[in-house]
A and B are shown apart, each in its own frame.
Chain A
């Protein structure tokens, strides 16, 4: 006999903390199906809320699981194939880890090359003229002649 909490999980599977995204559907009593894997157990229980849950917590295993598949048995019981949600099951331990982080949504450095930015083969161009040039612009009227000469110094 195991204690199972059925949830409607309303978030991305790869979200670590799903606390605010789990809607409890029911708490039921069930059993393991034959021998079990701790990461991919198969459980059975009787419940009328078919299609109302996609996520479960198995109290005796201390772990959360995604519902991979549900089989309706002849007696009306549900045989549910699970896969462990290691992210939520070890949420606090994961958050305590120190890691070398490649990318993040909020803490980042824009000056690093980002292959996710898609640029086109073509280019855009801008021309900026600097004002204040003393060189001739139009009619050559302000050009100059320089005469270097030798003289008697008088």
Chain B
């Protein structure tokens, strides 16, 4: 019965013609160098071959070591030269730029697990008295029912879809998927055919803007939303792709502004537990504690409050034929309901 997340069961969207490679930030600079080194002849040649506009499908930054998690999952391919269209491209040493081939377009991996013990060992361990919120990186705060943690190992599994740069966190115990939450994790570095088209126009018009510097790489950067540039990732990518910016004056931003903020947020899963402060636990010998069950009174001891009973066959201890009168029955019932010590 499929009650848990089982990874690796997915349609593989990657083919020999459509591939994903991962690498470090140098991939961007090499790619930038690659395009900026194109002269007009080379550019048109690649364009007419369909390479320039179609070779690069997407370029996305992720805040984790993708090579490591793919390697751990056994889904990391070869470290191979990346082909754009019909050719490879070179790095500073004129060697083909390589990347780690990703065998799947999405991947599931565990981000953390925890088992919580009950704090009070009574009803205050549950909602609405105790509340547990979980900070999930790239998703945000979510509220989880406290009872799912008690006596179970709760695992937080992320699935990253490298097609959409989105992530989903699945919360599950040993047997059951309990909840899921969605977020966005990849920062799309804008690059695409529209940009190339613009370059074509620039080439034709002889006014390509190398060195202009006034390029909006990401949405909000130096344009609509100055707040976005506060993100470390933004500045980092900005810096890394500086050469690329100069080569592509019309790069447009994606819609990832909140993600830039997320990069600066905690990168671990945190549980934020809110519990009541107990002033007085109550003294069982004085107040008793809740039972709410049917019992023979002779089997109980200590302070007892009866919710209800049907008094029957009452006789005095001194004379078994001496029955209780109505006022005695009423008083016995009243006393049992107000609390007696058995």
The chain A residues found within 8 Å of chain B, CB to CB, are: 12, 14-17, 38-39, 59, 62-63, 84, 86-114, 116-120, 122-137, 140, 142-154
Contacts and interface: CB of A to CB of B under 8 A. Distances in A.
B114 A130 contact: yes
Given A86-B335, A93-B313, A150-B17, A101 B63 contact: no
A104 B268 contact: no
> Which of A120, A124, A130 counts the most B-chain CB atoms under 10 A from its CB?
A130
B123 A110 contact: yes
Contacts, number: 367
B55 A145 contact: no
A113 B266 CA distance: 36
A99 B64 contact: no
Contacts of B38: none
Contact of B294 (A88, A98, A119): A98
Contact of B302 (A105, A120, A125, A132): A105
The dominant DSSP class at the B interface is mixed
A109 B291 contact: yes
B180 interface: no
A119 B276 CA distance: 6
B274 A125 contact: yes
B236 interface: yes
Given A15-B340, A117-B278, A125 B63 contact: no
B43 to A, nearest CB: 17
Interface stretch (B65-73, B209-217, B247-255): B65-73
B19 A149 contact: yes
Interface string B150-176: 000000100000100000000000000
B331 A86 contact: yes
Given A16-B341, A103-B305, A149 B276 contact: no
